[in-house]
Structure 1
């Protein structure tokens, strides 16, 4: 894993979690927030922590964000601050920008500004929970596009003991098994000649209706 330099702007629940997680993984993390107490709380967990109003162009330029690999904008309730910061970060020449949005309209504005990846934390989590509740074998779910998902699924009983070649999952269900979690290992790509075990977790990419057919064995 290559060490990255990441700036996280806005250290609420979302931003603080991103900053702490990246720092714990060994990356260089700059945490930025307008609130001094918030910055003090995050300071022990990140490489650097700075108090700054990132809607102020001079204050933002002083952070030299164009030298970071990624900039994450986690500003939440202040929509104007979120959009202004994104615009200025883009103008400064940040290499890759990720921004949090609370609505589709806000997300569209961020995309027009030039943000590389827009995150909708609440709606994304709601979708994951809903999918996990209604799908018998699903452990986790990530929506990749309008109708395509990445699913972590327990191995259905009808697949146990079969190899991927024997199961012919791609041809029958139009989905791809991209990895298998087995014990403490992730087998990627999986061995197509290795029989699936009941304790395996399958990581599958496909259209939602096809994933459902696989679950049901139809």
Structure 2
């Protein structure tokens, strides 16, 4: 049991359209999910579904089936980064921003880039934003702009709306008017950095409590060639190795005799201190 998290909790995995899906489901209705389709960890609320007679599921806010069409309103640093990532993952991206230079910057790699006001209903309809699977309001500087854009996307009946917020109050307002998910990029980035500073090999991190989380780490040189048993995971009672990502293949809930190979990525869940001790045996956390 992990301190601060309800017990018991379950793991499950499956293959979905050729992609490996791994999840840890908590009785409170939360879930940590990893899918090789997006190569990202996601933490959110579980949407119920049957799997091997266990009431587990796909998260209501996860895109494990990779929606084909995503609209991004606003191309600041957050929106620009999203556009590039989504394009690289195979999404069909439509990007809108009032700044001509920003639009020009993404025009070479997104499906459609347009200069204009993200709160202009006629413009969004002309770009078929109302046919998007997901719309992301990435403009968070202007409270009025993000609120109006979210309201408009709701009117256009976009199935899933994600909106960026700068403060909790801003986020609560966006949720009240129809945002299905609110993100706080600055706060989340700060939290991830703070948790990952102690372990240099961390690629991704999701905080579950103040002192525990899920980490995706690159196997360090001293792990290579050793079995999981030899690495001593059993000595870390609260630490779980959920999966080894090996190229395009995933070894789910690996056996103790599985040997770590160069380039392997390990998906670990547990207290931060246990993750640190596992990655840095014999070294005390300062």
1:160 to partner: Cα distance: 7.6
Q: Decide which of 203, 206, 231 is 1:140's aligned counterpart.
A: 203
2:148 equivalent to 1:76: no
- Where does 1:29-178 land on structure 2 (aligned, <5 Å)? 29-133=93-197, 135-136=198-199, 138-147=201-210, 148-153=212-217, 161-163=226-228, 167=232, 169=234, 172-178=236-242
Cα 1:158/1:48, change in 2 over 3 Å: closer
Q: 1:153·1:203 contact (CA, 8 Å) conserved in 2?
A: yes
Quote the RMSD (CA, aligned, Å): 3.3
1:59 to partner: Cα distance: 3.6
Greater strand share, structure number: 2
Q: Which has the higher contact order (CA 8 A, sep 6+)?
A: 1
Instruction: Give unpaired runs (5+ residues) of structure 1.
Output: none
Cα 1:62/1:197, change in 2 over 3 Å: closer
115-124 vs 10-19, which moves further: 115-124
TM-score by length of 2: 0.62
Cα 1:4/1:207, change in 2 over 3 Å: farther
Q: Secondary structure, in 3 states, of the residue corresponding to 1:187?
A: strand
How many correspondences in the alignment? 215
Q: Secondary structure, in 3 states, of the residue corresponding to 1:44?
A: coil
TM-score by length of 1: 0.78
CA–CA separation in structure 1 for the residues paired with 2:219 and 2:270: 16
Cα 1:25/1:143, change in 2 over 3 Å: closer
Q: 2:95·2:113 contact (CA, 8 Å) conserved in 1?
A: yes
CA–CA separation in structure 2 for the residues paired with 1:166 and 1:17: 37
Q: How far does the alpha carbon of each residue in 1:73-113 deviate from its partner, in whole angstroms, 9 at most, with x for none?
A: 11131121012111221222111112222222222222222
Q: Secondary structure, in 3 states, of the residue corresponding to 1:80?
A: helix
Cα 1:150/1:61, change in 2 over 3 Å: same
